Amino acid sequence: MFNNAQEFFNTLPLIIMGGGIVISLLIEIYSDKNKVILPWFTALLFLAVGLHSLFYTNDVSIVMQNMLATGGNVNIFYAIFTLGAAVVTLISIDYIKKYDMYFGEYYLILQTSVLGMMLMAAAKDLFVIFLGLELMSISFYILAGMNRKRAKANEASLKYFLLGSFATGFIVYGIALIYGSAHTTSIDFITTNFAGLTSNLLFVAGVLLFLIGFSFKIAAFPFHMWVPDVYEGSSTTVAALFSTGGKSAAFSAIIASLFALFNGPSGNVFTPYFAVISVLSMFYGSIVAIAQVNIKRMLAYSSISHAGYLIIGLAAGNHDAIAGVMFYLGAYTFMNLGAFGIVSLVEGKNETNLDINSYAGLASKKPFLAALLSILMFSLAGVPPFAGFFGKYYIFIAAIESKLTWLAILGVISSAISAYFYIRIVVLMYFKPATNDFQIETSNSAMLGIITSVIIVILLGIFPGSFLDLITRFI
């Protein structure tokens, strides 16, 4: 498996994660205090893996018979997944108690889904991508229906399962066609021989099917129909994970498997595909979100439009664009987690306070919470001092470099439209009288998670260069 100790050390994030799952299983079945131990163990495990990966980004190598890459951008993706999942764990602890749906398995399945995401980011072979994707998706289907007493959660789980399996079918078919034309599933071979392979129609069809499957996972426009229902039906904390971890993992898989697409400003066969779905997702997400009254559905449509901005980066297809996509994924993960975290706090038992209008006057009752939510909303809208602005900025600049100025202009217009429904929340909170007595149960762990995400959003906004330098070093 490993040729030397260094390779073993480089694979440690995956090994720690896998070992952590085994230990969590033992805690769940043997400890009487698992309700207390397991959540904190999970959060610490995610934190440990995330910090380890960030610390050892320089250990670039390929291990396990050319199956997995380590170090570099793979480790940065690990950090995004695991630190995001740590925030999800923190906001889950009291949310689960509020809804009285404690299962130790919740944290176990959270961990397996993150392991799946990590495998997708690390893959050097199409089969490893498929393995990671299935590990992640199956965990997600279960998580969506975790609150099994709610009919809506069951509906969300079944819907996600059926549509998700269908999308996975596209990916498998795509992999089969790629294998049929390239005679290998090794990503390195595909990357080096990409120019020759694109003259083969079978290969292009395979990659297109592969991309369609992943467009479903990242919630891009024509493949988005599951998103609002699933986010609304499943628990808020779980929806936070779907919209951040799941999306980042699918982007990491696209970047890892089709890196040959992102080598120059000249554009390629797949640029039109990316350009079309990015424009459609941006505008569809931004415009339909205006009409939403349920805040979780609004965040779902906002997630569709953010997928559109990210795909502009894929369409631009140069190294700056990939760095921009990774920066945006990091920023988007934390701003969305923070927003979902606050929604999960404000949300009362039996799904009260999910209406947008129930946020009216939050600033007079809970000024601190309202301030945090405003920062996150400004960041999601792309207002300068916060991380969301720089994510969009890097992607649009990269698009202009690739002579896709029209795409960047459409992106800016769409951001302006989306500002309406983000800022509307801020207006409601600060300038409308309170109609609601906000019986918000205090939760220190959730506040810790939300404040951490807000701090990361502000830091990425003030010092965007340091994170971007870390990314561009490995592209």
* Nearest by Cα to 396 from 320, 467, 466, 460: 320
**Smallest gap from residue 137 Cβ to other proteins (A):** 18
Q: How many residues bind other proteins (CB under 8 A)?
A: 7
**Smallest gap from residue 21 Cβ to other proteins (A):** 9
**Which CB, 42 or 292, lies closer to other proteins?**
42
**Which CB, 30 or 33, lies closer to other proteins?**
30
Q: Supply φ then ψ for residue 236, to 5 degrees.
A: -60, -40
**Which CB, 3 or 439, lies closer to other proteins?**
3
Residue with tokens 């998706």: 137
- For residue 175, give both structure tokens: 């992999």
Sign, Cα dihedral of 5, 119, 1, 67: negative
* Nearest by Cα to 255 from 329, 331, 176, 181: 329
**Which CB, 28 or 351, lies closer to other proteins?**
28
* Nearest by Cα to 78 from 120, 44, 37: 120
**Gap between the Cα atoms of 354 and 23, Å rounded:** 36
* Nearest by Cα to 381 from 319, 290, 449: 290
**Smallest gap from residue 25 Cβ to other proteins (A):** 6
- Window 25-84: residues binding other proteins (CB under 8 A): 25-26, 28-30
- For residue 154, give both structure tokens: 């069951």
Tell me which stretch binds other proteins (CB under 8 A): 23-31, 44-52, 136-144, 417-425.
Answer: 23-31
Check: CB of residue 52 under 8 Å from CB of residue 13: yes
**Smallest gap from residue 142 Cβ to other proteins (A):** 13
Q: Who contacts 29 (Cβ-Cβ below 8 Å, separation ≥6)?
A: none
Query: C-alpha distances in angstroms, 44 versus 83, 108, 222, 297?
Result: 10, 13, 38, 31
**Gap between the Cα atoms of 194 and 200, Å rounded:** 10
**Which CB, 35 or 403, lies closer to other proteins?**
35
Instruction: Give the DSSP H/E element, type plus range, for residue 68.
Output: strand 68-70
**Which CB, 80 or 108, lies closer to other proteins?**
108
**Which CB, 30 or 199, lies closer to other proteins?**
30
**Smallest gap from residue 26 Cβ to other proteins (A):** 7
Q: Who contacts 200 (Cβ-Cβ below 8 Å, separation ≥6)?
A: 181
**Smallest gap from residue 28 Cβ to other proteins (A):** 8
**Which CB, 134 or 320, lies closer to other proteins?**
134
Q: Supply φ then ψ for residue 96, to 5 degrees.
A: -65, -40
* Nearest by Cα to 69 from 58, 81, 60: 60
Tell me which stretch binds other proteins (CB under 8 A): 24-32, 164-172, 418-426, 432-440.
Answer: 24-32
**Which CB, 8 or 166, lies closer to other proteins?**
8
**Which CB, 94 or 125, lies closer to other proteins?**
125
- Window 3-22: residues binding other proteins (CB under 8 A): 22
**Gap between the Cα atoms of 110 and 87, Å rounded:** 12
- For residue 314, give both structure tokens: 């894929």
**Smallest gap from residue 363 Cβ to other proteins (A):** 47
**Gap between the Cα atoms of 190 and 256, Å rounded:** 11
Site string for other proteins, 286-315 (x = CB under 8 A): ------------------------------
**Smallest gap from residue 61 Cβ to other proteins (A):** 18
**Smallest gap from residue 101 Cβ to other proteins (A):** 17
**Smallest gap from residue 55 Cβ to other proteins (A):** 26
Answer yes or no whether residue 462 interacts with other proteins by CB under 8 A: no
User: Interface with other proteins by CB under 8 A: which residues?
Assistant: 1, 22, 25-26, 28-30
